Structure 1
Amino acid sequence: MRVLIADSNPRRAVALSDQLASDPALEIMRLAPGMTLIEAVGKMQPDIVLVDLEMADRDSLDSVRALSSSELNRPVALFVDRDDEALMCDAFDAGICSYNLVDTLPRDVKPVLRAAIALYTRFQKQSRALNEAQRHLSEREAIDRAKRIFMKRESTGEAAAHRWFQKRAMQEGRRMADLCRQYLELHEPGAGS
C-alpha cells in the first residue's frame, strides 16, 4: 500500500514515516517542501494520503478540497489529537474519508488505512451512481419536454412524437436525448433568446 504523508510539521512527518516504515507492506512517501498536495499525488500516485496529523488547519483542508475536486482524487485520512466537531464537519466537506481521533498512531495502522480506502471506494461508487441517475433523469426530462412541444406544434399524440424523435435519432446516428435537447434549443419558448 502506497501511503503519502502530507504533514506540514517535518519532525512529525519523519516520526510517522519511521513508525510506518517498520511495516514492509507499506511504501511510505512524504510531501516534499514546496510541493502542493496535488503535485505530490500526481507524481507519487499513492493509494492513500495522510494529512496534518496533529491538528489540521484550514490550509490543509483547502489542499484536500482541491485534491478531491481534481481528477487525481484519492482517499484521504486525517488523524487529529483532539476532538473538534466543527473541524470534523469541515474535513468531511473537504473530502476527508476517514477522521480519526488518536493520541498516538496505533501500532498497526493498516486496518485504519484499509477502512479509509474502503469508505472512499464506496463513496465514489455511490457518487457515480447518483451522477448517472441524475444524468438519466435530466435526459428523461428533456425528452418529455421536447415531446410535449412537438405534440403541441404538430397536433399529435405522445406515441407519434416519440416515434418521430426515435426515427430522427436513428437516421442521424445520435442519442435521442441529444436530439431532444437540440429540438428544445430551437423550439422551447424562451430558448435561445
Structure 2
Amino acid sequence: MTREGAAGGRTGMRRVWTVALATILGIVGVATATAGVEHTQSAWTDTTYTSAVATAGTWSVPVSVGCTAMNANGTPKNGGFCEVLSVAVDQEWGTPGNRMRGYNVRLRSNAQDGYIQFTIDLSSAGSADFSWATAGLTAGSSHVTPNSGWTCADLPKLTGKTPTNWGWGPNSAIYFQITENRSSQAVNCG
C-alpha cells in the first residue's frame, strides 16, 4: 500500500467520524434546546357571541328576583327602572294546612302605561311553617298574570306581570292571594 493510499484511508475514516460526531452533537443540541422550551398560552381570550331564536310562544325578560319596567307592547322600557320595595303578608287566615295569605307587594317603577315584569320570593314574608308544596295563586288575583311556563310548583317564587296601563310610578302596589291548599281553591297555576 502506498503512502497516499494509507493517508486517503485515514482521511476517509476521519470524515466518517467527523460526520458521526457532528450528527450526535446536532441531536444532543436539538434535544437540549427543545427541553428548555415551555408551552405557552395566550394571555387574551377571544370575544364570543351567542344568540337564541324564539320559535314559538312568548318571551319574557329573565329576572332572578326583582322587576323590569316594560312597554305595553312587551319590550323592555328604554331608560326604564323598577325596584321591589317590599313583599308583605297583609293578612293570613284559616288553620295550618288550609290557610290563605293576602300579599301586598310595593313597587317603584317608571313603567307608567306599560306593565311590570317581576319575580319575587314570597317566603321572605309571613310565618315559616306555610306549606309551599301544596300552595297556589288564587284565581281571583287579578293584579298578577303568571308567566308562561310558571307553575304553582315554583312557589314560593312567583314570576309574572302586573296589569297594563295602571300608571305605574314611584309608589305602586299589587295585591294577590296565595292558598296553602290548592286542591281546596280555584287557583291559577300557569
Q: TM-score, normalised by structure 2?
A: 0.24
Whose radius of gyration is greater, 1 or 2?
2
Q: Which has the higher strand share?
A: 2
Q: Which has the higher helix share?
A: 1
Q: TM-score, normalised by structure 1?
A: 0.24
